[in-house]
Amino acid sequence: MNDMADTGEQTIKKFLYVNRKAPYGTIYALESLEVVLIGAAFEQDVSLAFLDDGVFQLMKGQDTADIGVKNFSPTYRALGDFEVTKLFVEKESLEERGLSEDDLMEITYEDEDDDWEEKPSIHLVNRSELAAVMAEQDVILSF
Amino acid sequence: MSILHTVNKSPFEKQSLSSCVAHASHGDAVLMIEDAVYGAVSGTAAAAQLEENKNISIYALGPDLNARGLGEAKLAEGVNVVDYNGFVELAVEHDKTQSWL
């Protein structure tokens, strides 16, 4: 990080945000999303992981009108505009919870290196693949 | 002397729902609220435990299901959805309430 301050040149690091909590019951999911959005300003190589109860954050059809809490789920679909385009969702976590990819929101981004083609941001990975994603990071932030 | 048991933790993160069901007696009701409503989704270990216990009535709070994107189609058999008024009625119908935090 000192390199950045000293030279003014960009040092790009790989950041992984690990999401393991369901939304609404606790504040972790919303806090994570806020930190991701703030962090996006630093133009790092950002990935998000959703495992354990974190997969519930991406459920489609969330409607919080009757619990008096802001529905922040549409924000995940805006992540592509902040160049946050890699969302890794653990397959085993979905299955243990009676869910499949069809239960998740459709989240896409426009690839500037490929004529702005719309591509999916969500990548379903198994446990060992997610472990490999974790292993290749420089910084991991846990929520 | 029947009890309304309320549970508010995800069954995938805490043992509260499992312990609650294991301690509920004939005629008791279990109401899943907040993150506990994930326990109402069919095809999970948590739902299987609910389904095999025929002595107790199982409820889930509708507003918490809706907030989490869980429609009726995803719910396990035998789960009754109630609104806030239904929550109050359950509290009135039973002699006491026990919160499994």
Task: Look at B66 and A24 and tell me if their CB atoms are within 8 Å.
Answer: no
Task: Look at A99 and B41 and tell me if their CB atoms are within 8 Å.
Answer: yes
Question: B39-97, pLDDT tens digit by residue?
Answer: 999 999 999 999 888 889 999 999 999 999 999 999 999 999 999 999 999 999 999 99
Q: What ipTM was estimated for this complex? A: 0.90
Question: A45-101, pLDDT tens digit by residue?
Answer: 999 999 999 999 999 999 999 999 999 999 999 999 999 999 999 999 999 999 999
Cβ of residue A67 closer than 8 Å to a chain B Cβ: yes
What's the whole-model pTM score?
A: 0.92
User: How many CB atoms are closer than 10 A to CB A75?
Assistant: 15
Question: A31-48, pLDDT tens digit by residue?
Answer: 999 999 998 889 999 999
Backbone angles phi, psi at A43, to 5 degrees: 50, 55
Instruction: Count structural domains, chain B.
Output: 1
Query: Which of A26, A5, B35, A38 minimizes the C-alpha distance to A17?
Result: A38
Instruction: Count structural domains, chain A.
Output: 1
* Residue of A66, A77, A101 to mutate when probing chain B, most B C-beta within 10 A: A66
Task: Look at B66 and A103 and tell me if their CB atoms are within 8 Å.
Answer: no
Question: Which CATH number covers residue B25?
Answer: 3.40.1260.10
pLDDT at B84 (0 to 100): 98
Residue B69 sits in which domain range?
Answer: 3-100
